[in-house]
Amino acid sequence: MQRLRSSIPDMQKTLDTVKFLESKQGQEDDIETRFELNDTLFATASITPTDEVFLWLGVSSLESR
């Protein structure tokens, strides 16, 4: 149970990201963003508009939203 509770901040970040992407749905311009690779390393990306988001749920599962 503690492990699940400790992952709540990461789940909240993911939910916030999905909500942000939903708010941009229908726009034609790419979204420029930075994303976290680990605690001290970030990368930049250009996200092309899409109707699909994939969430990484663990080592052996991927779910489409």
Instruction: Express each pLDDT in 12-49 by its tens digit.
Output: 988 898 898 888 888 889 999 898 888 899 999 998 88
Residue 55 has a pLDDT of 78
* SS3 assignment, position 54: strand
Total of domains in the chain: 1
Q: Collect all residues with Cβ–Cβ distance below 8 Å to 31 and sequence separation of at least 6.
A: 21, 24, 46, 47, 49
* SS3 assignment, position 26: coil
Q: Residue 52, class by beta-carbon neighbours within 10 Å (0-12 exposed, 13-18 middle, 19+ buried)?
A: exposed
Residue 62 has pLDDT above 60, yes or no: no
Residue 60 has a pLDDT of 52
Tell me if the pTM is above 0.95: no
Domain residues for 6? 2-64
